[in-house]
Amino acid sequence: MNAHEIDYEIFGEEMQYVEIELDPQEAVVAEAGSFMMMDTDIKMNTIFGDGSNQDNSVLGKIFSAGKRMLTGESLFMTAFLNIGQGKKKVSFASPYPGKIVPIDLSELGGRFICQKDAFLCAAQGVSVGIEFSKRLGRGFFGGEGFIMQKLEGDGMTFVHAGGTLAKKTLGPGEVLKVDTGCIVGFTKDVDYDIEFIGGIRNTVFGGEGLFFAKLRGPGTVYIQSLPFSRLAGRVWAAAPKGGGKDKGEGSILGGLGDLLDGDNRF
């Protein structure tokens, strides 16, 4: 497997984007909705499956697309090909505040396991597949589902981490316990399982869920401080319910404040 060799630069702090430089006939594939901007002479094509070139038969393409559907992603991806004579650039943006993490698969043994919504884009030739759990506990109690994504190949790929990124290098047998949603991804040699927190008070009143992930080295683990599920939950909890205005929002006077503001709807 030989993925296209691409150059890149990451811009920004809280809301980052990655700019990828393509030589003539080089291409990058990305999830739908991550595109930001591109130069002229870059051709955009919707492709069926994950963009890898391992099996170009009809059945191979259908199987590739089916793997993506199992992870909850679209059946299609978008390829951006430089059809011009010189170098051209295309950029992809983070979906929410966080960090873009460049992963060179050639330095990680050709495989990286990540959350199903972490993948942003990759050099064409990288296979975006599925990683089935070998333990039922992960699927029933993992919090992020039975299936994770598996990025394979020898090219560059980019994943997104919400909030602040922590990179932990685990030695042989070293264990790290993590909230299941806070895992961005890990290298292929890391052993991953789910463990029950235990204790009645922890279970009923802890507010942290019933299980956490146990990661055992050797290998490298990427952790995010703000999973999208947590961000969405906070936004939903703070949103006015019932379609009306939250009477206490923005004022310690509540309804009286609405009257002073000229809003007399109760």
Indicate if the pLDDT at residue 198 is higher than 80: no
> What is the reported pLDDT for 206?
45
- Tell me the pLDDT tens digit for each residue of 4-43: 888 999 999 889 999 999 999 999 999 878 899 999 999 9
Least confident of 4-8, 119-123, 200-204: 200-204
Q: Specify whether the CB–CB gap between 92 and 50 falls below 8 A.
A: no
Banded pLDDT at 254 (limits 50, 70, 90): low
Indicate if the pLDDT at residue 169 is higher than 90: yes
> What is the reported pLDDT for 239?
81
- Tell me the pLDDT tens digit for each residue of 53-67: 544 544 444 445 445
> What is the reported pLDDT for 67?
54
Higher-confidence position of 22 and 201: 22
Higher-confidence position of 259 and 93: 93
Instruction: Please give the mean pLDDT across all residues of the chain.
Output: 78
What is the rounded average pLDDT of the residues 73-83?
81
Highest mean pLDDT among 39-48, 165-174, 251-260: 165-174
> What is the reported pLDDT for 58?
44
For the chain, percent of residues with pLDDT exceeding 90: 43
> What is the reported pLDDT for 228?
79
> What is the reported pLDDT for 193?
83
- Tell me the pLDDT tens digit for each residue of 212-241: 888 999 999 999 998 877 777 778 888 887
The CATH superfamily of 7-236 is: Mitochondrial biogenesis AIM24 (3.60.160.10)
Q: Specify whether the CB–CB gap between 154 and 2 falls below 8 A.
A: yes
> What is the reported pLDDT for 63?
46
> What is the reported pLDDT for 8?
95
Q: The whole model's pTM is what?
A: 0.77
Highest mean pLDDT among 35-39, 139-143, 178-182: 35-39
Per-domain residue ranges for the chain? 7-236
What angle (nearest 5°) sits at the alpha carbon of residue 94, between those of residues 69 and 86?
95
What is the rounded average pLDDT of the residues 93-113?
93
